Structure 1
Amino acid sequence: MERTFWTDGEVLRTEPPAGPGAARAVESVVDGGRLVPGLVDAHTHPGAEEPEDGFDGAAPQRHLEAHRDAGVLLVRTPGTMERMPGWVDAAPELPRARSAGRWPATPGRFFPGVGRNLSEEQLPGAAVAEATASSGWCKVIGDWRRDEPAVPLEIMTEAVAAVYAVGGRVAVHRTAEGSRNAVLAGADSLGHGRHLAPALLNLKAHQGTAYVPTLGASAGSAEVWRGRERSPKRSARLEGWTGMVANVRAAHEAGVTALARTDTFPCGTVAAEIRQLLDAALPAGEAVGAASWAARSWLGLPGLTAGAPADLVAYDQDPVAHPEVLEHPVRIVLRGRVVR
């Protein structure tokens, strides 16, 4: 469908500007092609490329610029070494950011020395503290290794309820038993999803819990494990990879919202994650939407409508029909300014 949009400062309009001299101020920046709302990476960690590196205060700008130059104009950063600097979301040259503060993690369930090392009793209060100190999100480490116990369901339920009570939202890192507990506790999103029981998908759909697999990062890990000697750990990792891929399509069929995420570095590679979603048999419209209009809607931002943020990416062909064009945006408009 052919449509025309105007930008009014940082806002998108469907009617031309009015008033004396308004017409002379209009400059065409995209004529033809296909517009989509700015791309979204729903799980990225600008600031530290490896947990043991520590948080580099200059890195967020560098990493977010890489996202922007790939057309990613909105990011969710579910957990960082330190709280994301307050200037990030407001910086006119950088993507909008939805940050989740530091990782609240209970003993033995995260990288040693990374995040907030807490007792299980302290977890609900810490989750609230991180949500209120960020943009309303917190990310709880629900489990870490499949052969070790997850955060108990009653503790996870208490943490989710406490964050909801202050108007926040909860993301959960989980692989096995943590998946079940996070869904039953009513968390907003579940990351990774290795060993996620398909029986949970209908409940996820009913309560609006999003599925955020890390297919690209996990595919590389699976290749490494395939080359190792047979062992119970190798079998578990490969089983988890197979289950994650199968769950992408199953989640779609159950009505679960899928979100695209990269998790790893370099930044600005969400187009590759969309290809992974396609390879996992997610329909093309849903795969592209998982990194654009559907992800924006789920995070509370409208798409191509009057009053929406003027964050747009233009391609010379429809990316749903031709996903390869996602690697080659012809125009990027952020906050009403052409940045490419």
Structure 2
Amino acid sequence: MGLRIRGVVLPERVERVFRTDGEVLREDPAPGSGEFAVDGGWLLPGLVDVHTHPGTEGLADPFDDAVFRRHLAEHRDAGVLLVRTPGTAARVPGWTAHDRALPRVRSAGRWLATPGRFFPGVGRDIGEDGLVAAAVEEATAADGWCKVVGDWRWDEPAVPLELLTATVRAVHAAGGRVAVHCQTAEGSRNAVLAGADSLEHGMHLDPDLLDRMAAQGTALVPTLSVFAAGADRRRADAPSARRDDWLAGWAALPGTVRAAYEAGVTVLAGTDSLPCGTVAAESSWLVRAGLPPEAALGAASWAAREWLGLPGLVDGAPADVVAYDRDPVAHPEVLAHPSRIVLKGQVVR
């Protein structure tokens, strides 16, 4: 008969009744039989972390299936039922798509690193002349995404604009999307001008580019919480041009995020850190940056799901539901503590 679920759906703020049909939700407005798996409260279509790297504990570690499972379970137990992995040390294993106990995964394949622009040996090291072909290969082998490391050190050149533009065009022609790591002014500028689908971090992003981002649909994933966690350590470093550049970029980033939202850019929540399952903290950082609480919540839930191609809580949607006893918009502190989690039509907590 499936599970019965009743509650106030966000963001619509309308009470609805659903029944699960396998891994799909069906609206069930007529009185029915059976107990409710969720009866009352506030319903979200599962939290989303759009920038997480499950599968390794450290950069020197090889990708490990057992670690990958554990990290996904940490996400799930926090109510994160969909993740995007913009770069991993190895391609995400195929069994992921068939495991009903773990969150849905959208993979971007391996990091694509041209010489001098990433930790050696961690991603897929390629020459600049091989970037276009490698990007298409990773996007088509994964879930339609690829990840290009667009810049690296603050005083070294980013991937050239012409090359990044050619890469984006080729991936788009193959039906894929491109995420670009960027933490320098040049790297962020090139990612926007090349038409990338998402800027990962976006440190030193020129605010004059925000209107263009909004018009072409380039999203910003600022990963504020991981930068905030490292800020005190950076301040304690010996003075250097590199330290000062990083701190200046971090100081400006919250204001850039607020301006991006006001310009109509899609701002999304990603953690880029361990432990997994902490996207609620990233949502709170988006509020601190100036996003309205509902927009910050959507960045970690329904807006992120829509951006990744999944609907919210409607008839025919995936049966992924996270329930709360209190409204997480009015009480954002509850976001990390769901009262019930339904994943792929099964109660997991």
What interval of TM-score do these two structures reach, taking the shorter chain for normalisation? over 0.9
C-alpha RMSD of the superposition: 1.3
Q: Tell me the residue number matched to 1:269.
A: 278
Q: Report the 3-state secondary structure (helix = DSSP H, G, I; strand = E; otherwise coil) of the residue aligned with 1:2.
A: strand
Task: Please point out which of 289, 296, 302 is paired with 1:293.
Answer: 302
Q: Distance in 1 between matches of 2:115 and 2:326?
A: 50
Q: Report the 3-state secondary structure (helix = DSSP H, G, I; strand = E; otherwise coil) of the residue aligned with 2:232.
A: helix
Q: Distance in 2 between matches of 1:55 and 1:269?
A: 21
Q: Tell me the residue number matched to 1:115.
A: 123
Please say if 1:10 is aligned against 2:18. Answer: no
Post-superposition Cα deviations, 1:178-224, rounded to whole Å, max 9, x if no partner, equal 11111111110010111111111110000111000111110122111
Task: Please point out which of 152, 162, 178 is paired with 1:170.
Answer: 178
Quick check: 2:73–2:102 contact (8 Å CA) kept in 1?
yes
Quick check: 1:39–1:71 contact (8 Å CA) kept in 2?
yes
Q: Tell me the residue number matched to 2:78.
A: 70
- Give how far 1:79 is off: 0.6
Tell me whether 45-54 or 224-233 shows the greater mean CA deviation: 224-233
Q: Tell me the residue number matched to 1:140.
A: 148
Q: Distance in 2 between matches of 1:130 and 1:245?
A: 32
Q: Tell me the residue number matched to 1:219.
A: 228
Q: Distance in 1 between matches of 2:223 and 2:28?
A: 40
Task: Please point out which of 226, 232, 253 is paired with 2:241.
Answer: 232
Q: Distance in 2 between matches of 1:78 and 1:51?
A: 15
Structure 1 residues not aligned, in runs of 5+: none
- Give how far 1:16 is off: 5.7
Q: Distance in 2 between matches of 1:300 and 1:135?
A: 11
Q: Tell me the residue number matched to 2:10.
A: none
Alignment of 1:1-340 (within 5 A): 1-15=14-28, 23-24=32-33, 26-176=34-184, 177-340=186-349
Question: What letter corresponds to residue 137 of structure 2 in structure 1?
Answer: A
Report runs of 4+ in structure 1 exceeding 3 Å deviation. Answer: none
Q: Report the 3-state secondary structure (helix = DSSP H, G, I; strand = E; otherwise coil) of the residue aligned with 1:32.
A: strand
Q: Distance in 1 between matches of 2:172 and 2:307?
A: 16
Number of residue pairs aligned between Structure 1 and Structure 2 = 335
Q: Report the 3-state secondary structure (helix = DSSP H, G, I; strand = E; otherwise coil) of the residue aligned with 1:135.
A: coil
Tell me whether 7-16 or 237-246 shows the greater mean CA deviation: 7-16
Q: Distance in 2 between matches of 1:313 and 1:59?
A: 24
- Give how far 1:17 is off: 8.8
Question: What letter corresponds to residue 15 of structure 1 in structure 2?
Answer: D
- Give how far 1:89 is off: 2.4
Quick check: 1:6–1:16 contact (8 Å CA) kept in 2?
no
Post-superposition Cα deviations, 1:116-168, rounded to whole Å, max 9, x if no partner, equal 11111100000001011111110001001121000001100111111111111
More strand by share: 2
Q: Distance in 2 between matches of 1:61 and 1:225?
A: 32
Q: Distance in 1 between matches of 2:315 and 2:37?
A: 18
- Give how far 1:49 is off: 1.9
Q: Report the 3-state secondary structure (helix = DSSP H, G, I; strand = E; otherwise coil) of the residue aligned with 2:60.
A: helix
| TM-score, length basis structure 2 | 0.94
| TM-score, length basis structure 1 | 0.96
- Give how far 1:113 is off: 1.3
